[in-house]
Structure 1
Amino acid sequence: MQRVDETPKFRATVEMEIQAKVDSNHPDGVVDTSGDRIYGVTLAQEERIQAREEELERISTQAAFGRQEGRAERTRAVVEQERRSQRPVKEVDPREELERAELGQINRQAQRLAEDVNGGYTRSVIANRIASRVLEGEAMFEAVTDTEEEMQHEAGTIVPIGRLESIRRGEVSVEGRVIELWEPSCTSMQQVGLLEDETGRTKFTIWAASRQTKAKEGELVRFRAAAKNWYNGRCSIALTRWSGIVFPERGQWWV
């Protein structure tokens, strides 16, 4: 006897087929396949796929960044190790390479310059400069005179008034005694006078805008950062707001 398959078969009705076609063509049913859209998936499925891809990209970026951080850390460790292994180079004193007789002569000349050149240099610093020149091949006399010339032209050194014209700087510091004061020719001048030391004399002007303390005739003064000028073909100096006055006999600064 032939058995009959009694399993019911489900077939779509005409209405169901029509509805399926409508759903498949609806913009919310299937994701748009144009451009970068994924074919054959819904919008929700595509969002899940993109989220997963972004997560994988983030993990990959973190891994690469971690490798770079490790490389930078290793590089810093190597540099630090090399730095620790380097020993500081000891600076050689040129005086150590001179004969005893030469060194004694240099020390005597350095002491003389320290007393003659009012620039605040110690004997040791001056001797070091002279010794360096001697080691470079200069004769002792030339090394001493070149060092003295160098010191005279450096800022802050008290320049002899008789050498003002030869100083290459636009501002100088001098010390001398006020031997005469004149009546200023205009209100922009506070004081005009004559300053003298054992090497010469020069005219000085203190501008009113500088607001300096007035000097007196016969008083010892030290002018700091005075501007060089020329008066009747001769070098003169002027005190501006950037200059300063020291009164050694008063025992205090006036700026």
Structure 2
Amino acid sequence: MTSRKTVVDKDSVDAQNAKYPDETRYAVEDEPELRATVELESQAKVDTNHPDARPEGMTLEGEETHLARTMEKKRTRQRLDDRQQSSRERRSREVASRGSHERRQAFQERAASVAPSQGSTDPRELCSRAELAKINEQAARLVEECDGWSRAAIARRLAARVVDGADISRAVLDVVEGCQREPGTVVPIAAVPEVDRATVSLDGEIVQLWATDHPAIAQSGLIADETDTIKFTVWEKSRKRPVTEGDQVVLRGAQKSWYQGRCSVAVTGSTLVTVQE
């Protein structure tokens, strides 16, 4: 059997190292330097700067930072004085109130230059006796048409339009349209499509009910008044009391919807349904 042992002469190795001195630079150190990874350094910063961190185990710099942050929190939570109302807060309220009053006066002066009725608390004071007689006559007639509005409120609106230069006929039309646009005002069914709101209030008679097999719809049919007829839908989730044909009902806060160019209303959970006796 042949042996393949290789005998290396130590002197020959030293001679090779002396011949190629540059290659000895890549020798591995016996005790390499240990350094923290990027993840460990990042986690150390988070632990040191965390608001809930405790001084124990921190460096001197971290402990001083923690104590300074704690003292700053305690200082900012204390009031400048121990009184119930700080003088600074009182002065701020006074300045804000005075500025608001001055801006309101400036706005009223500019508004009065454009619309004379805005310069008086009650525009009826600027009307003549003849104009007041017509205004009161129309206000008494519009009380029934403008649901929820008193005669005095309607008269003030009419007087404002007359003072601004409109005749009594135009003032009546503007006031009726304005009252109908106000939330909660019962409007004629014919005016429901023209109301610029997502919800409307209307009063009418249930003239027809339709059978429905859709699980989400409790009732559907037609409601009518002296002006027009409109479709209504009662959703099952609204949990409203069923109505019958011939009932005179008031729907407050009914949701408007459109389908194929036709307007309809829906009774939701926020709709108030009142059946009149």
Specify if TM > 0.5: yes
TM-score between the two structures when normalised by the length of structure 2: 0.57
Task: Give the 5 Å matches for 1:51-90.
Answer: none
Separation (CA, whole Å) in 2 of partners of 1:144 and 1:180: 34
* Structure 2 residue corresponding to 1:235, chosen from 263, 266, 277: 263
Q: Kindly indicate whether residue 253 of structure 2 is the aligned counterpart of residue 225 of structure 1.
A: yes
2:186 is paired with a residue of what secondary structure?
A: coil
| Residue 146 in structure 1 maps to residue 146 in structure 2 | no
CA offset digits 1:17-37 (Å, max 9, x no partner): xxxxxxxxxxxxxxxxxxxxx
| Structure 1 unaligned residues grouped into runs of 5+ | 1-64, 67-71, 250-255
Structure 2 unmatched ranges of 5 or more: 1-79, 82-86, 106-118
In the comparison of the two structures, how many residue pairs are matched? 170
Which of 128, 133, 151 is residue 99 of structure 1 equivalent to? 128
Percent of aligned pairs with the same amino acid: 42
Determine the C-alpha separation between the residues in 2 that align with 1:238 and 1:106: 37
| Deviation beyond 6 Å, 4+ runs, structure 1 | none
Question: Secondary structure of 2:144's partner?
Answer: helix
1:118-133 superposed matches below 5 A: 118=147, 120-133=148-161
Q: Say which one has the larger Rg.
A: 1
5 Å matches for 1:132-211?
132-211=160-239
TM-score normalized with structure 1 length: 0.61
Superimposed CA distance per residue, residues 129-170 of structure 1 (whole angstroms, 9 cap, x where no aligned partner): 111111122222212211111001111111111111111111
Please give the root-mean-square deviation of Cα atoms over the aligned residues, in Å.
Answer: 2.6
Point out the structure with the larger helix share.
2
Instruction: Render the CA deviation track for 1:216-255: whole Å, top value 9, x for unaligned.
Output: 1111111110011123421110011111100111xxxxxx
* Corresponding residue for residue 29 of structure 2: none
Distance 1:207 1:155 in 2: 22
Asked if 1 retains the 8 angstrom alpha-carbon contact of 2:203 and 2:225, the reply is yes
